[in-house]
Structure 1
């Protein structure tokens, strides 16, 4: 059996254990593979990571529930931790010798597993890693940097709606002289949002982050402080701020109008109405983020992905188009917002049957 085939077989076995909710079987898969000679980095990147990706895909296709997705992720996290604990117990790997780095998620970001994998790979490569986990408030992150003075901060984000907070974290870290390496789907498939927000570097994956750190990162000048509008001049029109402040009213009014224009809603249960309100809120959040980075693709990609999710849950996608048309009316005083919403409606009308890649969003 070739190595790629062996890795794929391990990933399939791990997936079956994770999908069954069997933590012990999942741990047995990876620890037996380790005993049989598969190195830990291959297990993390070639087995555990693909299984985590599959968890998100299965949720999006409505083949597993939110609870099952959470349980599967928790098992994957514990399996990863067990590998790290076994490494320390058995004395495998080299002691830290490359320097100290901090790995953290953006404030509000609950999807910490990708960052955890990066932290483990860096540890294997000889870095001393402070892993701060999910949704670290920026003031706490900066306080940690003052205490540890690391070579760099690796800032992870999966949801684009956290980009404004990521921007604040980037500038705050740089203001204390620590360079920022960003990663995760939130920053765009090619790191476009990382560049827009002034991050020092971006990496597509864990091995890319290793390469950037080994190349070395230049410390920023702490005296070169800047504001969000310095990186994103379009924010001067205040439209982003106004839409964010109007979010509760926008969600409420859109839901009221949708109830009047979409008769099927009259038979919705309280739980279904609550999920509809949450969907509208997500639309407003992605709209405001697209305003923040001035990128229509961020919004239209989310809209078409949402249509796929709704149809997987047997909700007609045209209800989303109706909701967007209502939202455009509520936003009539905000020209950039109206333009983005109209682009979203057009994207829905042009949507093909081919699955649309998601923006990194899952429960």
Structure 2
């Protein structure tokens, strides 16, 4: 055999073994991804009629065969959110299922092919939409109509109590809910500027811009007036978004929260929330719901506004990798278990509730 051929064969063998190893690792990773994204749920698409159009929904039910099940109805936060929140809801739905509860969610209008435009909605419109979904669920034989409650995050804080004023609910899970639109906006602005280490001059300029926006909203200015006032730079604001903010900027949940008195409420707050002033939120919930309410407050010191661990959320790469390989691990330690436990400990609608808030720190 020619000696020159031996090195070439060794190279080919190394390449073959390297390729085999890569394929084995790839197959293993594929298996991990498939396993991590396999949830103990039965998920189906549903259609809900409301106001002359259809809500494109998703109903996720436990596989225990013990129906009818209680139901958690999801109320999204801000933005163009689809029914699964880009699959981000699935770990929560699984936690609900382990407590014996189904989950119902739907695409916002204009999202994922749904009719309408969510930017045309007010908080009252969203509450009417949710009440219609609850009425639809109550007519189903696989849902226990006496054990239907709400889950809502962030902007949903203005929607949840409005729904409870329209139709009876068995419980409410409020995740990082806001109280007052304008106060929340100012808190968010200042918190983000601090996080960025903004200079005093930039902070002053941003506050001035915010004050101008508030004056324009107060006098119902048009989008064109807003653009002119901003020197031709809308700063990411669109005509549709301006319309949405104009219709909703006076939102304040304080008075509406009275509709939740006597309803078991789980208030979930993160320790690194730059969107919502959690101190203001907890104080308001405690003051309004203290009389005859059943408020449980759970704080997660390592959580952000979205209940994702801060150490993960501050890195886009780590967030993407965790979402791919271990989506349940995105959330703060104890968050999913806390939600499951709250649902498991709910009694029948007629069972008396404690009349004082319970606070738990995780």
Over alpha carbons, which structure has the higher Rg? 2
In which range does the TM-score fall when normalised by the shorter chain?
0.3 to 0.5
Q: TM-score, normalised by structure 1?
A: 0.32
Kindly indicate whether structure 1 or structure 2 has the higher relative contact order, using CA contacts under 8 Å at least 6 residues apart.
Answer: 2
